[in-house]
Structure 1
């Protein structure tokens, strides 16, 4: 059972911000920034190519809604959406990341690849978030 399936079954606690019959969205347990949300199909598809079009469409509708909500709540400089496949999908379950982007903190692909799940920065003044430095 994947971590996402365990969250859906309520075997693992999560802050759920959206849920339907096919899709669930929840706060990342190890966020790279405040407001970091994962949007996932409830079924355990591993890659983008395996997810049915109707579920991908719902995931994108949820992403658009969360985009607006994140902008209103945090007033970031931008919004980042990232989706990893293959070796870089450490959940073995398709998921789309959405999180606020802050000026001066740059996403570096070499750093992302080396640590596999985008955990390369946070906003240093926020408590409780891992800060690996500005790049």
Structure 2
């Protein structure tokens, strides 16, 4: 980390935040842990609370500095992750900014039975997943 020039907005022992080199809008910031963490689920419990606190501070700072109405927060996990390192995008948004954030195509459940079966699969996986 630190091999490429960046316009840093924050750095401490655990995290660095900097302007995205290819911003969606001016003020688009990336926040990354300084130690290698590839995906969100690999973020240690030790870093989870500081990650949350810093990300909330960054949201407020980006929105305030850019006079934004809100923001878009994105974490890609493997798929669409252009760099194999956990990073949070904080993108300032304003009403009428032209961004069409599209989550699609949508895939409806064919029935309540199918939705119930999938919910049960996820509950089972969640019960088996280690906490922390």
TM over 0.5: yes
Distance 1:107 1:73 in 2: 22
Describe the superposition over 1:37-63 as per-residue Cα deviations: whole angstroms up to 9, x where unpaired: 011111121111111022122122111
Q: CA deviation at 1:35?
A: 0.7
Cα deviation, residue 110, structure 1: 4.4
Structure 1 runs (4+) greater than 6 angstroms displaced: none
1:108 aligns with 2:102: yes
> Greater CA radius of gyration, 1 or 2?
2
Instruction: Flag structure 1 segments of 5+ consecutive residues without an equivalent.
Output: 112-135
> Does structure 2 conserve the Cα–Cα contact (< 8 Å) formed by 1:38 and 1:96?
yes
Structure 2: state its 5+ residue gaps. 106-132
Q: Give 1:28's match in structure 2, choosing from 3, 15, 20.
A: 20
Partner residue, 2:6: 14
How many residues are matched?
103
Matched, 1:40 2:29: no
TM-score by length of 2: 0.71
TM-score, length basis structure 1: 0.70
**Which structure exhibits the higher relative contact order, with contacts defined as CA atoms closer than 8 Å and separated by 6 or more residues?**
1
Q: Indicate the RMSD between aligned Cα atoms, in angstroms.
A: 1.6
- What SS does the aligned partner of 1:31 have? coil
SS at the partner of 1:33?
coil
